[in-house]
Structure 1
Amino acid sequence: MGTRSKLKDYLERKDCFTRRKVISIPEFYVGSIMAVIVADPHAKGKSSRFVGICTRRGGYGLGATFVLRNIINDQGVDICYELYSPLIQKIEVLKLEKRLDSDLKYLQDALPEYSTIDPNMVPIKHPPGKPVPVNPIKVQMKPKPWYKRWEREELQGVDFSILSEEKLEHAKKWWLPIYKRMDLLQHWKLPDEVQKGIKKEVEQHEITLGYDKTKR
């Protein structure tokens, strides 16, 4: 991994400042309900508007992104936007709030009502100077299969009542400290039982190969 380029960072910051002179980028968090208008040559009026709940934020500088989710015609729709994309014409926060978790990707496995936002929602103004409220809601999950074993994540905004106590206790063994959550070795490390099974298979294979060589 190389060092960061000061020149590249400077040029990116300059581009970000220039972009902010053209479009107002409001304060928002994961859990906020937003509306985004983007240029679309195939849409009527050459622009399209999408309303949804912000489920993820990532990247930094010119690479900053955010994801909006909504249920359209009984189908979950997730759109990832580049925050500084020149295609974005307007970003509007309809309801400013936070959630208990910093990533709401699990909403794709939650019941649809937790992702359904009225496209014609009237904006709710946030009182200036007041702290951003935290929505304490705990979403109900759909029956398995899920995109991921969410019970193994240390999530605060999910109700896992559909799972047995035994499964929940087993899932807690997978909880990791914050400094280990992004450690790829921890994610790909095999349990001891699996390692022993693989070792036996290798030994048996080596014995078979040795037998064949002596036979020749």
Structure 2
Amino acid sequence: MAASIARGCQAAKGLGPSFRSARALLPVSTSVASRVLAGPGRRQITGPSEPGVFQPPPKPVIVDKRGPQRRESRFLSPEFIPPRGRTNPLKFQIERKDMLERRKILHIPEFYVGSILRVTTADPYANGKTSQFLGICIQRSGKGLGATFILRNTIEGQGVEICFELYNPRIQEIQVVKLEKRLDDSLLYLRDALPEYSTFDMNMKPVAQEPSREVPINQLKVKMKPKPWSKRWERPKFNVKGIRFDLCLTEEQMKEAQKWSQPWLEFDMMREYDTSKIEAAIWNEIEASKSS
């Protein structure tokens, strides 16, 4: 019995090397090979050609079609609206027809008081027969063909203002260098402000702006020169918001200016000028002129 057990143990010892050699000849699985190559401190290496690799789906793009579409804003130049109190609109209707014909030749862009413009005009006495002027728009006035706008710039320490007629046939180009608004509808007080607020480079490059974006409002408040000023800008009738009065006037002077206030005018309904119907009729004229 003992002899048979001893022969069995010797046979098992003889089969051990043969099993180890056969195992070395077998192909190693990809999972084991990847673990061996990666090591304990590296990530597992898997190529895109492997059949079992997970491919994440593409990120979905969700478009909300329920929301309202952005409407294209329409800008009606203020000179198209006739002044209040005119009972015979024939004159302004004829002028609007001429204005629309002029706009087919000259592109008049959208601009406001506070925008920086460059205007090119025909000048028979200048080099190249044209002259340019760049400045900030400080006022828009006039109705119909008599509409005007004033540009101001400081050149060599001297304030220069030019009043252009909007529909002047000498104007060759009106370029908006920077489109923006200010806190006030009139910037005539820049004449009494420090010159740095009306100084611009004549070679200033245009500032790009998205058409669908709203026109930005510049919240800048200017510092004034010492008195006397051209007008009493601190009085309530001017309703100026773009001046730092706290730096140039005392409390007593501000209280004295408030004595001229007329707070009841804010609630006077007869002073309101409803132009909604007039604007709708003018837009119909503009659309008809485009189709003709």
Q: How does the TM-score come out when normalised to structure 1? A: 0.79
Is 1:28 the counterpart of 2:28? The answer is: no
How much has 1:178 moved relative to structure 2?
A: 5.3
1:154 and 1:175 in contact (8 A); partners too: no
Q: Measure the CA separation in 1 of the matches of 2:266 and 2:131.
A: 39
How many angstroms apart in 2 are the aligned matches of 1:172 and 1:4? 37
1:169 to 248, 255, 262: 255
Percent sequence identity is: 57
> Pick from 214, 232, 238: which aligns with 1:131?
214
CA–CA distance in 1 between the matches of 2:234 and 2:90?
43
Between the aligned partners of 1:32 and 1:143, the Cα distance in structure 2 is: 26
* Contact 1:34/1:53 (8 A) holds in 2: yes
Cα-to-partner distance string for 1:126-156 (whole Å, 9 max, x where unaligned) = 2111110000000000011111111113211
Partner of 1:93: 176
Q: Please give the alpha-carbon distance, in whole angstroms, between the structure 2 residues aligned to 1:108 and 1:86.
A: 29
CA apart distance, 1:38: 0.7
2:243 paired residue among 135, 158, 164: 158
2:126 to 43, 62, 66: 43
Report 1 or 2 for greater relative contact order, CA contacts < 8 Å, sequence distance ≥ 6.
1
Root-mean-square deviation over aligned CA pairs: 1.9
Number of residue pairs the alignment of both structures matches: 181
Structure 1, unaligned stretches of length 5 or more?
184-216
Compute the displacement of 1:3 (Å).
Answer: 4.6
Secondary structure of the 2:119 match is: strand
In structure 1, distance between residues paired with 2:231 and 2:89: 38
Match of 1:144 in 2: 227
Structure 1 position 4, deviation (Å): 4.5
- CA gap 1:110/1:11 in 2 versus in 1, 3 angstroms: same
Find the structure with the greater CA-based Rg: 2
The 10-residue stretch of structure 1 (39-48 or 26-35) with the greater mean CA deviation from structure 2 = 39-48
Cα deviation, 1:36-76, whole Å, max 9, x if unaligned, reads 01111111111110000000001121111111000011111
Q: Distance in 1 between matches of 2:87 and 2:172?
A: 31
Q: TM-score, normalised by structure 2?
A: 0.59
Amino acid at match of 2:212: G
The code of the aligned residue for 1:7 comes to L
The answer on 1:82 being equivalent to 2:165 is: yes
Q: Which amino acid aligns with 1:167?
A: Q
Q: Which runs of 5+ in 2 are unaligned?
A: 1-84, 272-292
Structure with a larger share of its residues in strand: 1
